[in-house]
Structure 1
Amino acid sequence: MDIKIYVCHHKEGPFFENEFFKPIQVGRAIAKKQLGGMIGDDTGENISEKNDNWCELTAIYWIWKNTNHDFVGINHYRRYLNFAENSQNSTISLDKNIDFLLYCSQNIVNICRSYDIITSPLCKIHQISSPNNRQTAYENYSFNHFESDMKLVFSIIKEKHPEYYEASQISSGLDICFFGNMMLMRRDIFNKYCNFVFSVLFTLENIIDTSKYDYYQRRVYGFIAERLSNIFVLKQQLLGGDKKAYHAGQISLPTFTRTYDFSELNTKLGFVNHPAQTAIEILHGGTVHLVISFDDAYMLHAIACIMSILDRASVRDALTFHVIHDESLGSPNISIIKRIFINAKIHFYDVRNDRFPGLLPRNRPHISKNTYYRLIMQDYLPREVSRIIYSDLDTIFLDDIIQLWNISMDNAILAGCLDEGGLTQSRKLFGKTHNKNYINAGVLLFDIQAAKAKYGNLRFLYAESLAKHVRNITLQDQDLLNISFVDDIIHLPLRWNVGSRIYGNNELDYAYSEADEKIAAENPAVIHFTGENKPWHADSTHPLKSIYLHYQERASQALQHAQR
């Protein structure tokens, strides 16, 4: 039996091949570079030049017109159908060093002998990172894309392919589907599938105007095809069809990212003989107001972060720390902090009686209630404090915080660095109206006075934002800040908040450029140890965790000394 699954690639990176899986470069006709070691979708009869809008469909079209395998289908370079025993309808992630092709090729011949259509796993439909927000296929498409396009698709099906119309309506009302157009089919069924899908899409292409769509929405034909694939399988399997369908497993591979010389970087960012900072003029009032929040359990990490800030500050006397806390930071530890940093200006504000943070959602177990205290700090800080820096404490500062303070906000309310998954998170919150402004809340410049002047009571603003988006909020205060000040955000240079994914694998979609990422990664001003696997955990794989561990050791010594 001749079985071939073509694996779609559009950029450089590792590729894998065996008797069943074969790599293919999609969009080769318009690609800047031809990828070596694989075929392209630009030979014979093809639509390769449409790849920007048609995505993996250019490969499907090429396969349809230029091959004749008994069973044929596609995968994506990071997602492979898995035919291994007991893998049906499951998704697993494998390390790239494992021979996953051998693993997932198991039983492929037997499955093809038993089934006519094989798809990727069926999934519950919901917004990205919002598993509790179940949606129908139609609701999901309308939220993320243009509903009018899907209505046109239904009209086209009703007129040109009425035999699929009932399936289209039933499929649109289901809250499960398979994604990615990842399928393997018997050749005659594959031909029938392509006749249906491309007939609908070529008709749609002649009707809609995508010239005003952004780069994401211009991929409309790929998004529509996912829905057509589900309609097709439903029709073949249930509604008058007798074809047997099998929902295979899926193997997800890591994103293969740029590598850095971490040995050199650790040395460059080291602590021996790092140059003394030259005092610089302090703008915006002459005092740097830094707001932080922690509890007893986070004491050591707070001390480490504060030490890193003071180490690099060119004018330490210009810094004032404001600690927002509740009863989980006890008086003994407050006294210890004051003894350790006896020469620093540190003020404490007890918000234990404030009920607002307790009403806000907490869906990530490793995040404490303290994360919400940045939303109420304006009610506790002295009135004269207007402009502030807020910093999480899973951070280490490697540059003068006064440089951050001096950055102009250009009359904006909030300044932060683009998040390492910002486009993914923005689409989750705003759907088709998503933007490229979603920032990480770990390091912020915030103009409290400007925020109050425009919005009045900020608690009301946050409550309204929560009410409108509660089903899609998963990153808690960060989501709320991005919703509340969506039109009032400017971006800081990425080096002021370098997240963990920049140094490793990033499966999320981000808005910053590769050039900005490289600059930030090689010259970080703040290393932000994002995610659950913190550098103080024994199994942490962060390549720069030694920088944190240096400060952790100093913090531990200072803590022991202060406790005597």
Structure 2
Amino acid sequence: MKKGTSPALEVIVATHKMYVMPDDSLYQPLLVGSDFFLNQQKGVTLPKNLILDNTGAHISSKNHNYSELTGLYWLWQNTVKKDTNPDSFYGLVHYRRFLSAKNKKTPLTKTELQNLINLKYEIILPKKRNYYIENLYSHYAHTLHIGPLARTREIIKEKYPNFLPEFDRLKTRRSAHMFNIFIFKKPLFEEYCEFLFGILFALESSLTKEELTRYDGFHARFFGRISELLLDVFLYTKFPDLDKRSDVLELQVLELEPVNWIEKISNFLLAKFFGKKYKKSC
């Protein structure tokens, strides 16, 4: 995946299992948690275009905590850092969630992305998810375990104080760009990864072994869940006028698997009013 002088357009599709991928050169399928997958699926034949996140510079073994972020880290370290063209664009989507052009029911194509770039868009995000009766912080506290997020604030206060005011706005904001889905121009992509992994690695170092292993499979992925909130902390600190900028575009999220809204709403109400933490994604 060595890059030449021409701008690259590449979006990795993070997946933890075999899945049908879009037939478009924009997308690079990447198996996250490859160490675990290959240990469980010995002898499996992998698609030729599937990259493993346990090659090159990687944190594949942390996938049970970091979720799709092991794929983001792989892209940053092994592709983006080797690309010398500042006009390249890189992004992250998931096997079951993609960005989609307006009024389309298919994943964004390379041609569509190039057209958006020609219109001078440099920051492409999913439409915000709204939390009408909760703020972002209280929603996290009701549905997940708050300890690691509270520790994250301490780290930001100490190491990234300029970002603290925006982090504290998690307690008033009721919407956010979620899912760890985005496409950025290369310089911003690198700056965000430096910020994100700087915080997450500091968080990991601050936790004891007992704290890192106390949660079950779903709740163990708290690094990935915290990162969803850190995206807007980063963007709104860097661009206070983010919502008004002409180079920012929000696209709809295309869900390739059905969303069980009855179960989702029921789980939220149980979490908010009865203290029942989420048990799985739905």
- 1:224 maps to 2:215: no
Query: Offset at 1:247?
Result: 1.3
Task: Supply the distance in 2 between the matched residues of 1:154 and 1:14 (Cα, whole angstroms).
Answer: 39
3-state secondary structure, aligned to 1:251: strand
- 1:429 maps to 2:273: no
Aligned counterpart in structure 2 of residue 27 of structure 1, from 25, 29, 33: 33
1:237/1:245 CA distance change after superposition, 3 Å = farther
Name the structure 2 match of 1:247: 250
Q: Which runs of 5+ in 2 are unaligned?
A: 1-6
Name the structure 2 match of 1:138: 137
1:157/1:220 CA distance change after superposition, 3 Å = same
8 A contact 2:144–2:278 mirrored in 1: no
Taking CA–CA contacts closer than 8 Å with sequence separation of 6 or more, which of the two structures ends up with the larger relative contact order?
2
Q: How do 1:440-519 residues align onto structure 2 when only pairs under 5 Å count?
A: 509=282
Deviations 1:22-76 (A, max 9, x none): 1111111221236423111111000011111100100000011000351111101
Query: Offset at 1:237?
Result: 2.1
Higher helix share: 2
The count of aligned residue pairs is 255
3-state secondary structure, aligned to 1:184: strand
Name the structure 1 match of 2:15: 9
Task: Supply the distance in 2 between the matched residues of 1:74 and 1:236 (Cα, whole angstroms).
Answer: 20
Name the structure 1 match of 2:4: none
Task: Supply the distance in 1 between the matched residues of 2:278 and 2:14 (Cα, whole angstroms).
Answer: 28
Letter in 2 for 1:24: L
Task: Supply the distance in 2 between the matched residues of 1:9 and 1:231 (Cα, whole angstroms).
Answer: 26
TM-score by length of structure 2 reads: 0.80
1:121/1:106 CA distance change after superposition, 3 Å = farther
Task: Supply the distance in 2 between the matched residues of 1:175 and 1:420 (Cα, whole angstroms).
Answer: 19
TM-score by length of structure 1 reads: 0.42
Task: Supply the distance in 2 between the matched residues of 1:120 and 1:15 (Cα, whole angstroms).
Answer: 19
Deviations 1:202-260 (A, max 9, x none): 111122313221221111100000011111121222179x89322122212136xxxxx
Deviations 1:422-479 (A, max 9, x none): 688445412673377xxxxxxxxxxxxxxxxxxxxxxxxxxxxxxxxxxxxxxxxxxx
Letter in 2 for 1:36: P
- 1:117 maps to 2:123: yes
Task: Supply the distance in 2 between the matched residues of 1:435 and 1:59 (Cα, whole angstroms).
Answer: 24
Task: Supply the distance in 2 between the matched residues of 1:434 and 1:160 (Cα, whole angstroms).
Answer: 30
Name the structure 2 match of 1:47: 59
Name the structure 1 match of 2:184: 185
Task: Supply the distance in 2 between the matched residues of 1:146 and 1:62 (Cα, whole angstroms).
Answer: 27
Taking every aligned residue pair, what percent have the same amino acid on both sides? 25
1:78/1:428 CA distance change after superposition, 3 Å = farther
1:179/1:109 CA distance change after superposition, 3 Å = same
Task: Supply the distance in 2 between the matched residues of 1:215 and 1:421 (Cα, whole angstroms).
Answer: 23
Query: Offset at 1:201?
Result: 0.6
Computed over aligned residues only, the root mean square deviation of the Cα atoms, in angstroms, reads 2.8
> Which shifted more, 112-121 or 217-226?
112-121
Letter in 2 for 1:67: T
3-state secondary structure, aligned to 1:226: helix
Task: Supply the distance in 1 between the matched residues of 2:192 and 2:18 (Cα, whole angstroms).
Answer: 30
8 A contact 2:62–2:70 mirrored in 1: yes
Name the structure 2 match of 1:71: 89
1:27/1:176 CA distance change after superposition, 3 Å = same
1:238/1:204 CA distance change after superposition, 3 Å = same
